[in-house]
Chains A and B, each alone.
Chain A
Amino acid sequence: MRETLDQSLRRQGVSRRAFLKYCTALASLMALPPGMAPAIAAALGKAMRPSVIWLSFQECTGCTESLTRSNAPTLEDLIFNSISLDYHETLQAASGTAAEAAREQAMKAFYGKYLLIVDGSVATGLQGAYSTVAGVTNLDELKKVAAGAAAVVAVGSCSSFGGLPMAHPNPTGAVAVSDIITDKPVINVPGCPPIPVVITGVLAHFLTYGTLPETDLHRRPKMFYGETIHDRCYRRPFYDQGKFAHTFDDEGARNGWCLYELGCKGPITYNSCATLKWNEGTSFPIESGHGCLGCSEPKFWDKGSFYQPLSGGTWTDSGTLLAAAAAGVAVGAGAAVLSRARQHHAQEEK
């Protein structure tokens, strides 16, 4: 019999008070009334440790690093560790055929109930042969494991949207998990990497309500991806005033002015970085002086330079415009020659 989450946390030395504080914070993050915190605590406390199978495909392990090692040990880590990892290639002790046997065993024991977490995009080129684990393509493994999952959580931008592997020219034919799995609930938790508490928040919601949270048009949980970085950025007043840093070390940058001119993608990036922040709430990239890269948005690698302002074009340059002007002059001159010929002809007829 698996222990409950409450039992697991107590065994790891987490007090009831700390657990309730976490649940209150979680309720706040999920935009639920404070009165829901005890309900979340009760549901989470009673929840049996669900089996979680974590598959890693075309990825850099940054998501795992972010979720498990960014600021250990936190309550998020403990809960994350408590509910997960019947199979995780990076973190599990077993290797080789023993690891694959553990996955098969978990799938068999909890068929239809386990949660599948995926990081990394899925290679489809050459029938998926660009990326294999134990001789099985990621494509086939995903289909097989997802068939018995209650729900699928795509962690990171690669599994959510294809990410860097899908960047032009996409040599491996990389696609997102949701492009392959269409008959199961799939939720995307994008970011490069995603914020740790966001993934635990999604898992806590699943444990509390038995469903995945409400999502936006990109299947992202609205509670964490409902607003843009720009909406919540502490530099927003400078944007509204028209005060911008022109370089990374000018007076504007030192005064903390808006980084829009330096290519910040905050206005079109939906994520919680500006509110939840990173490293135990210490800061986020914009607070450290660099613009947002837009890493939680689809195809963020292919949207032009990270340092090109949003209002700037991504194709045209002055050379193109000069060529267009020259072509216009040539066409105009040709039209004028024809007109002159017609004028001359008309005059001769008089």
Chain B
Amino acid sequence: MDMLAFARGPGLHWSLTILFVGVFWRLTGILLLRRSPDYSVARISGWWTGALRLIALRSWPRREFSATTSFPTLIGYLFHIGLAVIVFGLQQHILLIRSLTGLSWPNLPSGLVNLTAGVTAASMLALLIRRMTNPVLRLLSNFDDYFSWLVAFLPVATGMLAVAHLGARYETLLALHMLSAELLFVWFPFGKLMHASLIFLSRGTSGALLTRKGAAI
């Protein structure tokens, strides 16, 4: 079995299996945790509006900190939106999703996706450089931060090389691209990439609790 056959077959199979088991394991485990009973009277009713409000508010820098957080927020949005455009806009990715779920939709022009990939890769590099040069961020960062960045960056980089046919034979580049995505699938539930599944849940929970207590959000 060559590398591409492995990547399209057993590699994809087991990485997605690990991804699904891991994500549902963690979500179920967190959601079923025992919570301390709250005997106080809710100061504000409609906890869900507070949840939605906090999700929206935390998605943009507060005015007081805009000078220091605007740049990483902007770059962060760039690469997150870029990743979404690449994953859900490129025909090859849609075909993969279709082969797994039966769902498909019209693709974006390849040129637009390629441009987006370039912007995404540049944004991710900028964030890495910031993380490595900012003294506070450097102290806060651990292996999980750097490894999660790497497994998110590798599929973008190898995908660009595969599209451009640069550096190796196409089948090798395609196999490396698929294997790098499979590494991401495997790491996703167990590292900080899991924030993609938890971010709105955690923010919403905080918003609901704070609202119930009558705290200003």
Contact = CB atoms under 8 A, between A and B. Distances in A.
Contact of B24 (A231, A267, A329, A339): A329
Interface in A298-350: 298-299, 302-304, 308-318, 320-321, 324-329, 331-333, 335-337, 339-340, 343-344
B34 A242 contact: no
B34 A343 contact: yes
B1 to A, nearest CB: 8
Contacts of B107: 242, 244
Nearest to B103: A318
A239 interface: yes
B16 A332 contact: no
Interface residues of B, number: 48
Nearest to A297: B171
A260 interface: yes
Q: How large is the interface on A (under 10, 10 to 19, 20 to 34, 35 or more residues)?
A: 35 or more
Contacts of B171: 267-268
B201 interface: no
B98 interface: yes
Contact of B16 (A267, A324, A343): A324
A230 interface: yes
Given A242-B109, A316-B100, A339-B33, A332 B26 contact: yes
Nearest to B23: A328
Q: Is the interface of B mostly helix, strand, loop or mixed?
A: helix
Contact of A241 (B17, B23, B96, B111): B111
A172 to B, nearest CB: 20
Interface stretch (B7-15, B47-55, B74-82): B7-15
B80 to A, nearest CB: 22
Given A242-B108, A309-B92, A268 B16 contact: no
Contact of B4 (A230, A268, A302, A327): A268
Contact of A268 (B17, B33, B170): B170
A318 B91 CA distance: 19
Contacts of A315: 8-10, 12-13
Contact of A313 (B100, B110, B111): B100
B2 A240 contact: no
Interface in B71-112: 90-93, 95-96, 98-102, 107-111
Given A314-B5, A328-B25, 8 more contacts: A242-B109, A299-B5, A303-B5, A312-B98, A314-B8, A315-B9, A327-B21, A331-B29
Interface of A: 228, 230-231, 239-242, 244, 260-261, 267-268, 298-299, 302-304, 308-318, 320-321, 324-329, 331-333, 335-337, 339-340, 343-344
Instruction: Pick the 8 closest A-B CB pairs, nearest first.
Output: A332-B28, A328-B24, A336-B32, A312-B99, A324-B20, A242-B110, A311-B92, A315-B13
